[in-house]
C-alpha cells in the first residue's frame, strides 16, 4: 500500500514521521485523514515495536499490538540519521514532504538535521511540528519524560485517585494521547494558514501544556477561590464541592450514574419513586427526607455527612440486585442519564457501534484483525483506516526507488552500509 492509493482530506500531502511514543498517534491521525505518512525508523526498527503486548505472547517487533494500534496507515523506511549519508537522504525526503513530525530532544535536534531554524530556511513551505515533554524552550526543555511524568507534571494525576490516598496515573497513556491530538490540531491550523500564505511554520507542542489543558475547572478554581480540587475517587470535585458516588456495582459489572449527587441528581424525586417501586426506598419517601431534599434542592448540593452515607448505602444495595442493562433501561425511562461501564469485550460486541460500522477489519498476512475505526465521520471526505501498520523498512524500495529515484543497486549499497 502506497500513498497513491490513499483517500481523504489530506490525500495530496506527505508526512515524515520521526516520532516515538510521545507523538506516534499524531502521525496515525494524519494518516487517517488521508496523508501519506512515511514512518522513518532506525535500521532494525523503532523501539516502540518492542512494547507489548505481543500476539502469541512472543516478543517480536512485527507482532506488537502497541505498534499496530498507533502505526496503521503508515509506510515504513529505515534510515540512520546519525550518519552523513542518512542526513543527506533525509534532506532529499524533506524536499518531497509537506509535514514533518518529530519528538527529538531540543539539544539533539540540530545534530541530526532537525534544527528548527535550518529546516525553516531550507524548506519554508514545510509545517514542522516538534512534540516534546516540555516544549522547545524554558527551564524544563531538556528534561526527559514518560507518560507517567507528563501526567504528573501536567497536574492531571493530582486530580485522579481516591480521597485521602496518593495521586494515581490514568490507566491509558493520556499524556501521549493528549499531546498527539493537540499537535494534530496545531499542525492542521498551520497547514490552513499555509494555504493562504504559501508559507509553513514551526509548531512547538508540549506534553505538559497539553495535559494541563485537560484540567476542566481545577486551575481557575485555585486562581479564584484558592481551593485545590482533590481526588474524589469515582465521584467528582467541582470547586471544593464533592459529588456523591458516580459508579456502582451491578449484578454483572458496573454502571455510571450521571448525577452530581449520586442517587439525588437532577431527577431526585423520580429516583426515590424508582427505589420505592422495587421496595428498596427504606424511609426515603418520608416527609422528613423529602424536606431535606427540598432544602438542598437535590441538584448540585445533595445532603452531606451521615445523610449522604445513608443515601449512598441505599443505592449500592439497590444496584447489586440488577444487571447493568436492567438498571440503565429503567434509569432512562425516568430520564436519568445512566450508562453501562463497558469493558473492551463489551465494546467489540456493542450493537450501537456495530450499527455505525465503527470497528474495522484490516488484512494481515495471516488473517484479519479488528481495529478501532475512524475517530470522526466526515460526509464528503471520510476518514479511513486503510492498511495495517508496516513491517520494518517495508517501503524502502517505494520511497527510495520511486520517490527519490535511486536504483536497486544503490538501495542495496545503502542497506549494506547500514545507512538504511
Q: For residue 333, is it within any domain?
A: yes
Instruction: Specify the pLDDT at position 183.
Output: 98
The answer to whether residues 366 and 256 belong to one domain is: no
342, 365, 260, 278: which is closest to 314 by C-alpha? Answer: 278
Confidence grade of residue 246 (pLDDT, cut at 50, 70, 90):
confident
Whether 299 has a pLDDT exceeding 50, the answer reads no
Contact 178, 211 (CB under 8 A): yes
Is 237 within a domain? no
% of the chain with per-residue pLDDT over 70: 90
Say if residue 191's pLDDT is above 60.
yes
Instruction: Specify the DSSP element, H or E, that contains 279.
Output: none
Indicate if the pLDDT at residue 119 is higher than 50: yes
Q: Is residue 258 scored above 70 in pLDDT?
A: no
- Claim to verify: residue 8 and residue 147 sit in the same structural domain: yes
Cβ(268)–Cβ(281) under 8 Å?
no
The answer to whether position 232 is within a domain reads: no
What local confidence, expressed as pLDDT, does residue 198 receive?
96
Domain shared by 250 and 209, yes or no: no
Helices 24-32 and 174-197, axial angle in degrees (round to 10): 50
Q: How confident is the model at residue 257 (pLDDT cuts 50, 70, 90)?
A: confident
pLDDT value at residue 265: 46
Specify the pLDDT at position 264: 43
Q: Interior CA angle at 298 toward 327 and 340, to 5°?
A: 20
pLDDT at position 75 over 90: yes
* 352 part of a folded domain: no
Overall domain count for the chain = 2
- Domain assignment of residue 79, yes or no: yes
**Do 48 and 186 fall into the same domain?**
yes
Same domain, 151 and 54: yes
Q: Are residues 259 and 197 in the same domain?
A: no
Q: Does residue 394 register a pLDDT over 80?
A: yes
The CATH number of residue 188's host domain is 3.40.50.10540
Task: Evaluate if residue 20 carries a pLDDT over 60.
Answer: yes
Residue 112 included in any domain: yes
CA pair distance 325, 327, nearest whole angstrom: 6
Mean pLDDT, all residues of the chain: 89
Domain boundary residue among 324, 345, 366?
Answer: 345
What confidence category does residue 242 fall into, taking pLDDT thresholds of 50, 70 and 90?
A: low
184 and 307 co-located in one domain: no
Q: Is the pLDDT of residue 290 over 90?
A: no
In this structure, is residue 350 part of a structural domain? no
Question: pLDDT at residue 88 above 90?
Answer: yes
Domain end point (choices 315, 345, 375) = 345
Note the pLDDT tens digit of each residue in 308-320.
677 778 889 999 9
Q: Name the domain boundary from 287, 316, 345.
A: 345
Residues 157 and 11 in one domain: yes
Average pLDDT for residues 8-16, to the nearest whole number?
Answer: 95
Is 379 in the same domain as 278?
Answer: no
22 and 44 share a domain?
yes
What does the pLDDT read at residue 240? 60
Kindly report the number of other CB atoms within 10 A of residue 228's CB atom.
13
Question: Domain for residue 236, yes or no?
Answer: no
Of 61 and 239, the one with more pLDDT: 61
| CA atoms of 247 and 340, how far apart (whole Å) | 9
Q: Which domain holds residue 197?
A: 3-213+357-416
Q: Look at residue 289 in the predicted model and tell me its pLDDT.
A: 73
One domain for residues 131 and 207? yes
Same structural domain, 287 and 396:
no
Query: pTM, whole model, 2 decimals?
Result: 0.90
pLDDT in tens, 334-383: 878 889 999 999 999 999 999 999 999 999 998 999 999 999 999 999 99
Amino acid at each position: 500500500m502506497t500513498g497513491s492509493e490513499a483517500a481523504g482530506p489530506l490525500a495530496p500531502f506527505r508526512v515524515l514521521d520521526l516520532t516515538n511514543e510521545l507523538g506516534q498517534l499524531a502521525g496515525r491521525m494524519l494518516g487517517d485523514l488521508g496523508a501519506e505518512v512515511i514512518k522513518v525508523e532506525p535500521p532494525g526498527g523503532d523501539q516502540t515495536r518492542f512494547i507489548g503486548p505481543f500476539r502469541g505472547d512472543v516478543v517480536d517487533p512485527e507482532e506488537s499490538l502497541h505498534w499496530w494500534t498507533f502505526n496503521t496507515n503508515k509506510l515504513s523506511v529505515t534510515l540512520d540519521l546519525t550518519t552523513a549519508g542518512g542526513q543527506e537522504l533525509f534532506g532529499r525526503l524533506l524536499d518531497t514532504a509537506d509535514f514533518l513530525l518529530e519528538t527529538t530532544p531540543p539539544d539533539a535536534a540540530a545534530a541530526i538535521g532537525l534544527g528548527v531554524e535550518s529546516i525553516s530556511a531550507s524548506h519554508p513551505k514545510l509545517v514542522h511540528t516538534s512534540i516534546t515533554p516540555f516544549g522547545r524552550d524554558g527551564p524544563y526543555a531538556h528534561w526527559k519524560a514518560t507518560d507517567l511524568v507528563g501526567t504528573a507534571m501536567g497536574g492531571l494525576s493530582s486530580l485522579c485517585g481516591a480521597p485521602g490516598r496518593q495521586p494515581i496515573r490514568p490507566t491509558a497513556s493520556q499524556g501521549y494521547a493528549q499531546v498527539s491530538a493537540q499537535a494534530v490540531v496545531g499542525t492542521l491550523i498551520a497547514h490552513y494558514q499555509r494555504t493562504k500564505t504559501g508559507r509553513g511554520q514551526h509548531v512547538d507542542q508540549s506534553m505538559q501544556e497539553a495535559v494541563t489543558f485537560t484540567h476542566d475547572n481545577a486551575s481557575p478554581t485555585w486562581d479564584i477561590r484558592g481551593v485545590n480540587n482533590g481526588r474524589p475517587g469515582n465521584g467528582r470535585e467541582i470547586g471544593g464541592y464533592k459529588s456523591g458516588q458516580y459508579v456502582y456495582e451491578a449484578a454483572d459489572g458496573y454502571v455510571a450514574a450521571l448525577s452530581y449527587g449520586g442517587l439525588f441528581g437532577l431527577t431526585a424525586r423520580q429516583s426515590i419513586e424508582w427505589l420505592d417501586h422495587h421496595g428498596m426506598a427504606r424511609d426515603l419517601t418520608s416527609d422528613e427526607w423529602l424536606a431535606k431534599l427540598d432544602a438542598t434542592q437535590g441538584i448540585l448540593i445533595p445532603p452531606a455527612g451521615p445523610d449522604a452515607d445513608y443515601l449512598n448505602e441505599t443505592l449500592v444495595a439497590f444496584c447489586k440486585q440488577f444487571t447493568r442493562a436492567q438498571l440503565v433501561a429503567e434509569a432512562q425511562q425516568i430520564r436519568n442519564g445512566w450508562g453501562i461501564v463497558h469493558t473492551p469485550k463489551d465494546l467489540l460486541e456493542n450493537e450501537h457501534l456495530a450499527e455505525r460500522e465503527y470497528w474495522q477489519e484490516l488484512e494481515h498476512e495471516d488473517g484479519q484483525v479488528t481495529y478501532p475505526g475512524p475517530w470522526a465521520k466526515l460526509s464528503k471526505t471520510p476518514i479511513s483506516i486503510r492498511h495495517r501498520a508496516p513491517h520494518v523498512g517495508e517501503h524502502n524500495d517505494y520511497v527510495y526507488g520511486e520517490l527519490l529515484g535511486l536504483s536497486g543497486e544503490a538501495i542495496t549499497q545503502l542497506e549494506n552500509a547500514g545507512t538504511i
